[in-house]
Structure 1
Amino acid sequence: MPILRLHDCPARPWKNGLGRTRELAVEPPAAGMDDFLWRVSVAEVDSAAPFSAFAGVDRTIVLLEGAGFAMALDDGRTHALTEPFAPFGFPGEARVTVALAGGATRDFNLMVRRGRVRGRVAIWRRADDVRVLAETVLLYCARGRLELDDDVLQPGDAWLRSATIPAHSHLAPGGVVLAVNVSPVG
């Protein structure tokens, strides 16, 4: 089963060069910032740097660690990304500035190419939340542990979909998993 470990993913600069991210998965494999269909990464936000712009992309962000930050979007909306594991969606072309609520944070990001695919991040907190769907492309263990067949995901580990869906899955008490579902439009 394809297991990814966040610590094995190199930290790379954001598209705008003002922060760092670790890419967990991208479709198609080896796609760049301008030609991916979908992309999943974990970013480290340690300053009030503006987000990179991604035209034609829908983004979902989820606070993983830290006090979070306030987001100000150029359409006048604001959002306090201060509650862990509460997904927030916004258009990738939006100019977004941030004000840290405390120190550095770590957040999970799903980006999907608008008009081609739809994406959603489901949060699993209980054993009965666990449902690997046909459109599930990645599972990210944020807390605790997730058993998938003979493999165990610890915090920072991700399962990347291959041809086989796990026959057995179990989320340990206190665990939190982010399930990324991507489906074609139309």
Structure 2
Amino acid sequence: MIVAAVSGVSDVNGAANVTLIRGADLVAAPWKNGGGVTREVAAFPARQPGDAPGDFMWRVSVADVAQAGPFSRFDGVDRTLALLSGAGMLLDEMDGASVVKTHALTQQLDIARFDGEARIDARLVDGATRDFNLMVRRDVARGEVEVWRAGAQLRALDGDVVLLFCASGAITVTLMGGDAQARKLDSGDTLRIDAADALACTLTDDGADDGAVLAVRIRYTR
């Protein structure tokens, strides 16, 4: 288990807006091409049934990829993928019939970053995989994903929105300042913190040595 002590998060009332999102409550939506399913973790604006796939400023989701094939294009969107489980994927960035770059996701929590308008063909290394997906519309926001592990030093993270996704193990997150409540995250759970303008966090391990967090920082540019 990792214990994360987070400080410096506040809104105008002295407390950040904190939401605990349980992975077990996420709803799986099948892809139109039958290649997998996606579970949306969070998005802004909050999405409604019938919204077009690209109707967001940012979106975080977890996808189960069952077969090789092309990725959907999202013009104007910056994408970040992290491998959560499985043997992995090779993402071929195509120009016509030529591969101009291959993004390799072959180890747990490997990260790939690419433009949403790029033509991407995915190859599975050995069977189905699960990945974490951040999409940010670049004309209105910037997004970053970092891997936090046990033993990390104090980290400062500025953002309008911060999401702490438990990628493996069990994690206890303690928010200091206006909200001192400790929250335990199991694998697949997410802590969303809005108005987290100056977030600092330390990670400690009780000896299990299996916990990892994907820390997402989103900053609006207009």
Q: TM-score, normalised by structure 2?
A: 0.75
Shift of 1:85: 1.1
Shift of 1:60: 0.3
Give 3-state SS (helix, strand or coil) of 1:128's partner. coil
List per-residue Cα deviations over 1:137-169 (Å, max 9, x = no partner): 211001122212221111111001145788986
Structure 2 letter corresponding to 1:151: R
Which of the pair has the greater relative contact order for Cα pairs under 8 Å at 6+ separation?
A: 2
Q: Decide which structure has greater strand share.
A: 2
**d(CA) in 1 for partners of 2:140, 2:200:** 29
Partners of 1:148 and 1:166 within 8 A in 2: no
Give 3-state SS (helix, strand or coil) of 2:152's partner. helix
Matches within 5 A, 1:23-62: 23-30=40-47, 32=51, 33-62=53-82
**d(CA) in 1 for partners of 2:147, 2:169:** 13
Give 5+ residue unaligned stretches, structure 1.
none
**d(CA) in 2 for partners of 1:167, 1:90:** 28
Partners of 2:149 and 2:203 within 8 A in 1: no
Shift of 1:91: 0.7
Match of 2:147 in 1: 123
Structure-2 change in CA distance of 1:129 and 1:11 (3 Å): farther
Give 3-state SS (helix, strand or coil) of 1:7's partner. helix
- Compare 13-22 and 108-117 and name the one that shifted more: 13-22
Q: TM-score, normalised by structure 1?
A: 0.88
Structure 2 counterpart of 1:68, from 88, 94, 97: 88
Give 3-state SS (helix, strand or coil) of 2:143's partner. strand
List per-residue Cα deviations over 1:107-154 (Å, max 9, x = no partner): 000000012111110100124356362315211001122212221111
Structure-2 change in CA distance of 1:130 and 1:46 (3 Å): farther
Shift of 1:69: 1.4
The number of equivalent residue pairs is 186
